[in-house]
Amino acid sequence: MIHALILMRFCLLGVFGDTEEVKISVMEGESVTLHTDLTHIQTDLEIEWRFEKIRIARIKRSVNIDPTYDNETEIFRENLKMNNQTGDLTITHITSQHSGLYKLNIFTGNKQKVKSFSLTAYAPLPTPVITSDVSHCSSSKCVLLCSVMNVRDVTLSWHNGSRTHSSINVSEQKSISLPLEVEYQDTNTYSCVINNPISNQTKPFCLADLCRPCSDVTHSCGTVEASMRLVVTAVMGVAAVAAVIVLSYDIRSRRDELKRKSHTSPTTTSIEE
Mean pLDDT across 237-244: 54
User: 3-state SS string over the chain?
Assistant: CHHHHHHHHHHHHHHCCCCEEEEEEEECCCCEEECCCCCCCCCCEEEEEEECCEEEEEEECCCCCCCEECCCCCCCCCCEEECCCCCCEEECCCCHHHCEEEEEEEEECCEEEEEEEEEEEECCCCCCEEEECHHHCCCCEEEEEEEEEEECCEEEEEEECCEEEEEEEECCCEEEEEEEEEECCCCCCEEEEEEECCEEEEEECCHHHHCCCHHHHHHHHHHHHHHHHHHHHHHHHHHHHHHHHHHHHHHHHHHHHHHHHHHHHHHHHHHHC
Q: What pLDDT, on a 0 to 100 scale, did the predictor assign at position 83?
A: 95
- Tell me which of 226 and 77 has the higher pLDDT: 77
Q: Is the pLDDT of residue 1 over 50?
A: no
Q: What pLDDT, on a 0 to 100 scale, did the predictor assign at position 10?
A: 35
The answer to which of 94-103, 142-151, 161-170, 249-258 has the lowest mean pLDDT is 249-258
Q: Is the pLDDT of residue 228 over 60?
A: no
In the chain, what are the domain boundaries? 18-122, 129-212
Tell me if the domain spanning 18-122 has CATH number 1.10.1660.10: no
Q: What pLDDT, on a 0 to 100 scale, did the predictor assign at position 66?
A: 87
Q: Which CATH superfamily is domain 129-212 in?
A: Immunoglobulins (2.60.40.10)
Whether 18-122 shares its CATH topology with 129-212 is answered yes
